[in-house]
Amino acid sequence: MSFYFAQFLTGLSSASSLFLVACGLSLIFGVTRVVNFAHGSFYMLGAYVAYSLVQVVPGSILGFWGSVLAAALIVALVGVLVEMLILKRIYNAPELYQLVATFGVVLLMQDAILLIFGGEDQFGPRAPGLDGVVRIFGEPIPEYDLLLIALGPIVLGVMWLLLNRTRWGILVRAATLDREMVAALGVNQSWLFTTVFFLGSFLAGLGGALQVPRVSINLLMDLSIIAEAFVVVVIGGMGSIPGAFIAALLIGELNAFGVLVLPQATIVLAFVVMAVVLVIRPYGLLGKAETLAHSAGQVELPIRPASTLAKSVAGLLLAGLVVMPFLAGEFAIVLATDVLIFALFAASLHFIMSNGGMVSFGHAAYFGLGAYGAAFVIKYAGGSMELALLAAPLMAAAGALVFGWFCVRLSGVYMAMLTLAAAQIVWSTAFQWQDLTGGDDGLLGIWPSEWAKSKTAYYYLALVLCGGGILAMRRMIFSPFGYTLRGGRDNPNRTESIGINLRHHQWAAFIVAGMFAGIAGGVYVFSKGSIFPDEAAIPRSVDALVMVLLGGVQTLSGPVVGAGVFRLLEDEISRLDYWRAILGAIIIAIVVIAPEGIAGFIKKIAIKAGFERNEEQSS
Amino acid sequence: MTAPVLSVRNLSKSFGGLQAVSDVSFDLAKGELLALIGPNGAGKTTCFNMLNGQLRADAGQVMLNGTSILGLSPRRVWRMGVGRTFQITATYASMTVRENVQMALISHHRRTWDIWRSASSLHVDEAMQLLKLVGMHEQAERAAAILAYGDLKRLELAIALAHAPELLLMDEPTAGMAPKERVRLMQLTADIVAERGISVLFTEHDMDVVFAHAHRIMVLNRGELIATGSVDEVRNDARVQEVYLGGGTLFEDQAHG
Ligand SMILES: Nc1ncnc2c1ncn2[C@@H]1O[C@H](COP(=O)(O)OP(=O)(O)OP(=O)(O)O)[C@@H](O)[C@H]1O
Ligand SMILES: [Mg+2]
């Protein structure tokens, strides 16, 4: 009994930590409508800064708490800087662009922290004055945990006072309810957003700083906390701070007790709970329906079959790809195989996201499922490559069938978050179910059949499968099925009122996209000979988003161009020391400077130069 | 008299404390053009939303040719032969005018699951005929996103006619148009429905349009039907006059909203 009580307290203390971070994230989302990936980076930064300060100040109570507060303040200022330099420019962009841009900040921050603080795991000292344990029902409870337990409700109370008793708070609440209204009131919106970012980042920094005496400080903290914080914010209802508190308690306790029952599935549990909550309450426990649809960016022009010029370019490209192995070396062939795989992966995301309006932040799930599906056939069924390449799309489609059923019930940010959760379920399963997947060690020795062993033969196999997949999806985009999805994206209301069951079509599209991502994953695993959980992790999902964005969301050839450029670029810069920072900067630059992407840009030029049909821009 | 196409009894809906529609009952005969008028916020759109299944009614009964359609989803109601246009036009911005109509035809012919053929080559003739009917055939290849508002309304009419409906629900079909164009569009609608024997329930703020084309008028105020009858009956109804202009001279001034 007393053991369970101690476990309960452990749950409460982690709930408090989680709440600090989630509360800031929710606050920022509520006001600015930006889903801020970089929030996890602020948390990590807070931990590193506090750790460094604690090293230099004498180990007094004042020194420790002074360091924690100073760290939170420094993080808050960094947050403001990020907001003013980057986010201010993209507040009106579609959420996809915003999310990808904040992920660019994540990459930048990772390398900045690596550069400044070094890459080793750090263990901070205990908090002076709170380094003992208290015995409750005979169980030792760290004093520091008790402090954290108290801190959660205190922060909730302070936030409540701020939001309900100050003019600033009233404006924040008004902005959370209705952004237009604040603008109408003549409030300086820019200033409001910046202050909200200050407070939100402060809370993230504080949350991180407070972890110094508890956990090891490392460079993986950012993505692990952000995934959990997303879950909390989504369960609570995006923008709702009391909701975040309740959800943090739920997840904190779920983790504390889940580890006793299902130690293998602790990460999965949180995401399962989130999925269930969202299906029952599509806007979270205390969230409200979004009052304002997110701006969808520029209105898209009708799609047209490729022009003669575009067809010739595509024909030349294809011819080039066919003869390429005769002209290029092995290295180029391997790289080209990679490009083909990722072009298919990106195209499958483009299919649902651009054409169908279903933003997926977790598309790596299906890439990973395909890859593992193929690997399982080789490892456990003694099957051939051919069989494995059949299993890959089936496994991915099965995953998409299950997750898609949940996801198509939602829309906008909530759908995006649920797709992210689905991907985290896949990733954590791959990570934690060691007996099956080898966990972090992955599955090795998955090689092609004899006939496809040479790099050239495998390249042609990839060309047929990936090229075929891309063309098949392109054909679908022009078909009634594709048009139905497009219609559902343009106007769901109209679609339902001409007798179409939109949800069924979206579900099917989700499965189709998953299937093609699975083929990409299957081809990938044989080209590398191994598979690791990373292939289903957040960065892989972001890769797909970046490729689509880089090529151009509204351009049919976008994903292919994007994948090509992205892969070549990555290949160049990944040899450099700070390649993450460079990649991050490139991502941010694209979002801010060239949101139409490369293919979109080329198309624009071609239209201007008169090579492509022009569409009237205004009536 | 033959049985009504649409028969509505005691339809009610409240939003929180607000009684948006209360106890509305009426019949709509075959071929009839029935106007539902009332000030802003009277509950007209809410009625439409309940009739086509977009909104769940709190209470009441809706029969289409003797079959209850209340509680069915919008797509089921559409399949039963009810077309609808929206107060705020609902079209596909990233498709051409022709493709917008083709989508309705594709759905009507149950081909939305086709993943092979090119959507924009299906039912072209049928789509062009519908566009011709509403006078939009010359703009068939333009993007819907760049149409003038009045043209969007015409396009919506073509879409709504695609599955040869028996009943049309038109929410402010002429809103946002120039006065002359309004009368023309309503005349066009009246001709089409007369020729095809379609019944129409429409809302409209422009009294010229209503008086010129409605066979019968219902007046809704704060969710309640306060008058039903012929144009003259409604025009001379004391309560209606009060609702519209506080009892002054009615309608000659063209009350807008
Ligand atoms: N989804 C909703 N939630 C809450 N209230 C609503 C909702 N839809 C409509 N209302 C309210 O119900 C009342 C009736 O609205 P409705 O749109 O039906 O009026 P209307 O007669 O169509 O007005 P208009 O002439 O301006 O189009 C209004 O007071 C409106 O604010
Ligand atoms: Mg209305």
Determine, yes or no, domain membership for B124.
yes
Can you give the residue range of the structural domain that contains B118?
A: 90-148
Q: B114 — contact with chain A (CB < 8 Å)?
A: yes
**Interatomic CA distance for residues A600 and A598, integer angstroms:** 5
pLDDT reading at B134 higher than 80: yes
Determine, yes or no, domain membership for B95.
yes
Q: Which residues of chain B from 41 to 60 reach within 8 Å of chain A, CB to CB?
A: 52, 54
Q: Among partner residues A480, A617, A619, which is closest to B112 by beta-carbon distance? A: A480
Mean pLDDT, range B92-120, rounded to an integer? 95
Which among B24, B46, B84, B203 is the best mutation to test ligand 1's pocket, defined by most ligand atoms within 8 Å of the CB? B46
Determine, yes or no, domain membership for B140.
yes
Considering only CA atoms, which of A495, A508, A325 is closest in space to residue A408? A508
Chain B CB contacts of A494 under 8 Å are 86, 90-92, 159
End-to-end CA distance of chain A: 74
pLDDT at position A299 is 64
Percent of chain B with pLDDT over 70: 95
Complex-level ipTM:
0.91
Supply the pTM of this predicted model: 0.88
Determine, yes or no, domain membership for B32.
no
Considering only CA atoms, which of B37, B141, B39 is closest in space to residue B97? B141
Cα nearest neighbour of A484 on chain B: B112
Considering only CA atoms, which of A399, A383, A390, A378 is closest in space to residue A529? A378
pLDDT at position B247 is 44
CB contact under 8 A, B95 and A475: no
Residue pair A503/A385 in contact (Cβ under 8 Å)? The answer is: no
Q: Considering its fold, how many domains does chain B have in total?
A: 1
Ligand 1 pocket member B40 (CB < 6 A): yes
Task: Name B114's Cβ contacts closer than 8 Å, sequence gap at least 6.
Answer: A479, A480, A481, B106
Atom 16 (ligand 1): residue with closest C-alpha? B43
pLDDT at position A286 is 86
pLDDT at position A412 is 79
CB contact under 8 A, B106 and A482: no
CB contact under 8 A, B107 and A619: no
Q: Which residues pair with B67 in a beta bridge?
A: B64
Residues in chain A: 619
Ligand 1 pocket member B13 (CB < 6 A): no
Selected for mutation to probe chain A from B76, B77, B89, B95 (highest A CB count within 10 Å) is B95
Ligand found nearest the CA of B44:
1
pLDDT at position B249 is 42
Q: Is the dihedral of CA A480, A485, A491, A497 positive or negative?
A: positive
pLDDT under 50: residue ranges of chain A: 291-297, 615-619
**Interatomic CA distance for residues A53 and A205, integer angstroms:** 13
Cα nearest neighbour of B51 on chain A: A497
Ligand 1 pocket member B22 (CB < 6 A): no
CB contact under 8 A, A483 and B143: no
Mean pLDDT, range B105-114, rounded to an integer? 95
CB contact under 8 A, B115 and A494: no
**Interatomic CA distance for residues B183 and A501, integer angstroms:** 35
Q: Among partner residues B78, B92, B116, which is closest to A499 by beta-carbon distance? A: B78
A-B Cβ pairs (cutoff 8 Å, strict)? 120
Residue pair A44/A117 in contact (Cβ under 8 Å)? The answer is: no
> Which pair of tokens denotes residue A72?
């939170």
Ligand 1 pocket member B55 (CB < 6 A): no
> Mind listing the pLDDT tens digit for each residue in B41-100?
899 999 999 999 999 999 999 999 999 999 899 999 999 999 999 988 899 999 999 999
Q: A295 — contact with chain B (CB < 8 Å)?
A: no
Residue pair A509/A352 in contact (Cβ under 8 Å)? The answer is: yes
Ligand 1 pocket member B21 (CB < 6 A): no
- Which domains are present in chain A? 2-230 (no CATH), 308-613 (1.10.3470)
**Interatomic CA distance for residues A268 and B254, integer angstroms:** 64
Residue pair B2/B29 in contact (Cβ under 8 Å)? The answer is: yes
For residue B39, what are the CA distances in angstroms to A416, B205, B214, B224? 41, 8, 17, 12
> Which pair of tokens denotes residue A396?
């991915």
The nearest CA of chain B is from the CA of A292 a distance in Å of 16
Q: B137 — contact with chain A (CB < 8 Å)?
A: no
Q: Is A368 exposed, middle or buried (0-12, 13-18, 19+ CB in 10 A)?
A: buried
Using the structure block, give the residue that is written with the tokens 């739920």.
A250
Chain A CB contacts of B162 under 8 Å are 498
